[in-house]
Amino acid sequence: MKGKFLIVLVVLGLLAFYGISINNGLVEREEGVESAWAQVENQYQRRADLIPNLVNTVRGAADFEQETLTQVIEARSQATSINISAEDLNDPAKIQQFQAAQQQLSGALSRLLVTVERYPELQANANFRDLQAQLEGTENRISTERMRFNNTAQSYNTAIRKFPTSIFAGIGGFERKAYFEAEDGAEQAPVVDFEN
């Protein structure tokens, strides 16, 4: 009788150890997703911090369309007002809302950069060129961090769906994380028009 009890205890101990190991692995992956998200936010914040400098440089160097500058400032304000917490990463709608605000800001910046093409004296300004290079670099960093976030989220989502980990993930309350998705129409090449 004691032998059977000892075997049952050993089996239960092994199951508990296995469950703890799976839980710790999922916690590590979930932290990885949250860390990747923090890097995405970090790059968006970097862009938001650069925009006032760009706007002031453009404003100071050219008598220029106020409407475009206003759109950039408003889009920046809206983009920085939407914050996503770690818990919101489970909600695709919140990720979409954040992404939509960031896309609106990207569009306003694109219009600003296309509009300044009409101002040769501004293009020759070293401060403007430096800020433009910083913005281009930031956009590349954002793209890279979004890709890293999606890869980390995919690894996590795959782990919580695999059997038998899915059982422990369900018990532990680990939920699927949302991805960044391409905006509607992203498959179409943008049209650059210097005439308007």
pLDDT digits (tens, 9 = 90+) for 170-193: 989 999 998 877 666 555 544 544
- Quote the CA–CA distance of 142 and 51 in Å, as a whole number: 15
What percent of the chain shows pLDDT beyond 70? 79
- Quote the CA–CA distance of 98 and 33 in Å, as a whole number: 17
Domain boundaries along the sequence of the chain: 40-144
Going by pLDDT thresholds of 50, 70 and 90, the confidence category of residue 140 is: confident
Which pLDDT belongs to residue 194?
Answer: 39
CA-based end-to-end distance of the chain: 89
Q: What is the pTM of this model?
A: 0.66
> pLDDT (tens digit, 9 = 90+) per residue, 108-129?
877 777 766 666 665 656 667 7
Q: Dig out the tokens for 65 from the structure.
A: 């369309």
Mean pLDDT for the chain?
79
Query: Residue 107 CA to chain centroid, in angstroms?
Result: 17
- Quote the CA–CA distance of 192 and 36 in Å, as a whole number: 33
- Quote the CA–CA distance of 81 and 74 in Å, as a whole number: 11
Average pLDDT over residues 51-66: 67
- Quote the CA–CA distance of 151 and 29 in Å, as a whole number: 11
Burial of 34 (0-12, 13-18, 19+ CB in 10 A): middle
Q: Which residues of 122-150 are buried (b: 16+ CB within 10 A; e: fewer)?
A: beebeebeebbebbeebeebbeebbebbb
Q: Is domain 40-144 classified as CATH 1.20.1440.20?
A: yes
- Quote the CA–CA distance of 85 and 97 in Å, as a whole number: 13
- The CB density around residue 95, as the number of other CB atoms within 10 Å, is 21
Candidate from 10-24, 47-61, 80-94 with smallest mean pLDDT: 47-61
Q: Side chain identity at 11, as an amino acid letter?
A: V
Higher per-residue pLDDT: 196 or 37? 37
Which pLDDT belongs to residue 182?
Answer: 65
> pLDDT (tens digit, 9 = 90+) per residue, 73-95?
788 777 777 777 777 888 888 88
> pLDDT (tens digit, 9 = 90+) per residue, 146-175?
899 999 999 999 999 999 989 989 989 999
